[in-house]
Amino acid sequence: MTRETIYLPDRGLDHLVLAVAALERAQETYAQLGFTLTPRAEHSWGTANQLVQLQGSFLEVLEVAAPEKLFPHGGRTFSFGAFLNDYSKHREGCAMVVFESHDARADRDQFAQRGLPDLDPFDFERQAKLPDGSSVRVAFSLAFAPPPEMPDAAFFTCQQHAPEYFWKPDYQKHPNGAKTLEEVAIIAKDPDSLRPILEKLQAPEAVHSDPDGLTCETMRGRIRVMTLDNYQLWYGEGAASSAPATPHFAAMRIGVADIQATQALLDQQNVHYHWARAGLIVPSLSVHGCCLAFAQI
């Protein structure tokens, strides 16, 4: 049995990078929607975040806090901060989709062998605040795979070196009943044109066509690629006003324990929503550029 046969099935959805103009305002939005967020954390390269921890995955709500600290892309270097800064100049929304990793360097090697950009892994550490107020050091290794066909989106894998300090049950209790990251939706004029990219990021057999477009199944959640017309059927809204013409991440689907309880909370919080095939929908204009669907699991 080859290493690839063992390795590929473990690459589930790890988290989404949700770029926002102002982290404090976004924190208020997500709290109103019934999410619990971790305390603010800052990166040495100029970005700051707060997280929504789910079961095995999370949402990273992120702002460019100190542009003067950003470093540029290099010949073999992908600058996380520079990409987010360029993205944030034009829009808010889901800028990156991240897969879990057990070996970021093996991911990088595999991506390069499959024809994705050959970039150096990126290692970093930061302080994380625990629910009791204490701080611990967490560390990560990232392998970036920004496909040239998707200049307004990027993928990478994230290897955690201290997961025991990262995942905390207190941060995974959400008043809206959120449990899982079920789906990420991409809008593309030709969904099948993204098949080669997804087959390089995941096992080729995980990618298949369906009546709505293209679906990439992972060990945790899926990526669904749709035309704008099919996206409107699933999510009941058009593309965000600032959305690019190139393929881009448009929506996320969150699994909840009790959809009626989620609806009751949104009613209590005076949140505007509607129903569509994907579930209970909070429009992108209300969630900083990324449409949010709640679905019963």
Do residues 13 and 130 share a domain? yes
Do residues 21 and 159 share a domain? yes
Do residues 92 and 209 share a domain? no
Q: What is the pLDDT of residue 1?
A: 32
Do residues 119 and 31 share a domain? yes
* Pairwise CA distance, residues 251 & 87, whole Å: 16
The residue assigned the tokens 């095939």 is 277
Do residues 35 and 116 share a domain? yes
- Residue 185's CATH number: 3.10.180.10
Last residue of a domain, one of 136, 171, 206: 171
Q: What is the pLDDT of residue 5?
A: 37
Q: What is the pLDDT of residue 193?
A: 96
Last residue of a domain, one of 171, 192, 219: 171
Concatenating the DSSP letter of every residue in 44-96 gives TTSEEEEEEE-SS-EEEEEEE--GGG-----SS---HHHHHHHHHTT--EEEE
Do residues 139 and 254 share a domain? no
Q: What is the pLDDT of residue 177?
A: 98
Do residues 161 and 191 share a domain? no
Instruction: Please give the structure tokens belonging to residue 202.
Output: 């995941």
> Which three-class secondary structure state does DSSP give residue 234?
helix
**Domain boundaries, position 75:** 3-171
Do residues 262 and 161 share a domain? no
Do residues 114 and 237 share a domain? no
Planar angle of CA 151, 29, 273, nearest 5 degrees: 90
Q: What is the pLDDT of residue 92?
A: 96
Which residues contact residue 157 at a Cβ distance below 8 angstroms, ignoring those fewer than 6 apart?
Answer: 11, 14, 98, 99, 100, 101, 104, 107, 142, 143, 145
Residue 54: closest CA among 42, 66, 38: 38
* Pairwise CA distance, residues 148 & 222, whole Å: 22
Do residues 126 and 163 share a domain? yes
Q: What is the pLDDT of residue 10?
A: 59
Last residue of a domain, one of 128, 153, 171: 171
Do residues 139 and 75 share a domain? yes
Helix (H) or strand (E) holding 115: none
pTM for this structure? Answer: 0.94
pLDDT, tens digit only, all 297 positions of the chain: 333 433 444 589 999 999 999 999 999 999 999 999 999 999 999 999 999 999 999 999 999 999 999 999 998 999 999 999 999 999 999 999 999 999 999 999 999 999 999 999 999 888 777 788 888 888 899 999 999 889 999 999 999 998 888 899 999 999 999 999 999 999 999 999 999 999 999 989 999 999 999 999 999 999 999 999 999 999 999 877 678 999 999 999 999 999 999 999 999 999 999 999 999 999 999 999 999 999 999
Could you tell me the strand order of the sheet in which 279-282 lies? 207-210, 213-217, 222-226, 178-187, 248-256, 291-296, 279-282, 274-276
Give me the number of domains the chain comprises: 2
Do residues 15 and 114 share a domain? yes
